């Protein structure tokens, strides 16, 4: 029986292997002159005004309502439970909306999660689905070999892939269930946030910012 053929562009990930990732920071606690922050999904850290972490996050100042942070040289003001990224995403005040900021190469890269497990996405309107390598799928606990097997046209030729249904894909405050994903046996440096996710949001580009708003 002939295997199905999935049309999926992954040229974006394969042509840009040197993509630089954003630094993601969220505020878990606020005090006078100090803040508890979480960096890149790791453990919480207590920072006092003037302190800087190895990841390049510096606390400029804080009180009981907000913290002023310098993230990779960019100054941002965050309230309790708010998060931001340098070259990534910052949660908007409206429900189901997130603002992405392009990195120095013009790529929109952000922290998010698949099935509740943290990962990093590269926004790629040329990708049909949320696409990832088999190594990343295993790390995320996805039983991709139970999915529908087929083949895909990539920048490196025809490659075997598995089509799967992702229970949940989350970026900022946008959380979508039942998102189609594709797992590639070939190496990919980042997960592509493709059209199976992007078709369900409104996209608005202004300069080096892109606003995604949940539609359904």
* The predicted structure's pLDDT at residue 188: 87
* The predicted structure's pLDDT at residue 207: 84
Q: What is the DSSP string of 71-140?
A: ETTEEEEE-TT-EEEETSEEE-SSTTEEEEE--TTS--EEEEEETTEEEEEEE-TT-SSEEEEHHHHHHT
What does the pLDDT profile of the chain (216 residues) look like in tens digits? 445 544 444 444 444 444 445 677 778 888 999 999 887 767 788 999 999 998 888 999 999 888 999 877 778 888 877 776 655 555 444 457 888 888 888 899 998 999 999 999 999 999 999 999 999 999 999 999 999 998 876 666 777 899 999 999 999 888 899 999 999 988 888 999 999 999 999 999 888 889 898 886
| Both tokens assigned to 167 | 């229970």
Rounded Cα–Cα distance for residues 211 and 198 (Å): 11
* The predicted structure's pLDDT at residue 167: 93
On the question of a common fold for 5-19+102-214 and 23-85, the answer reads: no
Percent of the chain as helix, strand, coil, to the nearest 5: 10, 55, 40
| Both tokens assigned to 199 | 């078709």
Rounded Cα–Cα distance for residues 5 and 151 (Å): 5
pTM above 0.75, yes or no: no
State the Cα angle at 181 between 180 and 186, rounded to 5°: 160
**5-19+102-214: CATH architecture:** Beta Barrel (2.40)
CA 130 vs CA 62, 76, 109, 145, 165: distances in Å: 38, 30, 14, 16, 10
Are residues 116 and 28 in contact, defined by beta-carbon separation less than 8 angstroms? Answer: no
Tell which CATH classification among 1.10.10.10, 3.40.50.720, 3.30.1330.10, 2.30.30.830 matches the domain 23-85.
2.30.30.830
Domain ranges of the chain: 5-19+102-214, 23-85
* The predicted structure's pLDDT at residue 2: 47
* The predicted structure's pLDDT at residue 89: 54
């Amino acid at each position: 029986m002939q295997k199905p053929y999935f049309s999926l562009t992954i040229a974006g990930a394969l042509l840009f292997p040197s993509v630089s990732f954003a630094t993601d920071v969220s505020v878990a606690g606020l005090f006078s002159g100090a803040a508890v922050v979480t960096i890149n999904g790791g453990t919480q850290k207590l920072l006092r005004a003037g302190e800087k972490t190895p990841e390049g996050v510096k606390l400029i100042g804080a009180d009981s309502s907000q913290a002023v942070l310098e993230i990779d040289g960019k100054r941002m003001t965050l309230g309790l439970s708010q998060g931001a990224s340098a070259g990534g995403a910052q949660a908007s005040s409206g429900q189901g909306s997130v603002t992405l900021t392009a990195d120095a190469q013009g790529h929109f890269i952000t922290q998010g999660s698949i099935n509740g497990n943290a990962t990093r996405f590269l926004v790629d309107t040329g990708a049909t689905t949320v696409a990832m390598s088999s190594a990343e799928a295993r790390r995320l606990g996805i039983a991709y070999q139970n999915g529908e097997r087929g083949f895909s046209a990539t920048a490196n030729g025809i490659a075997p892939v598995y089509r799967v249904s992702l229970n949940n894909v989350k970026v900022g405050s946008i959380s979508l269930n039942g998102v189609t994903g594709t797992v590639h046996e070939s190496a990919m440096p980042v997960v592509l946030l493709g059209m199976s996710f992007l078709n369900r949001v409104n996209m608005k580009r202004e300069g080096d910012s892109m606003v995604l708003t949940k539609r359904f």
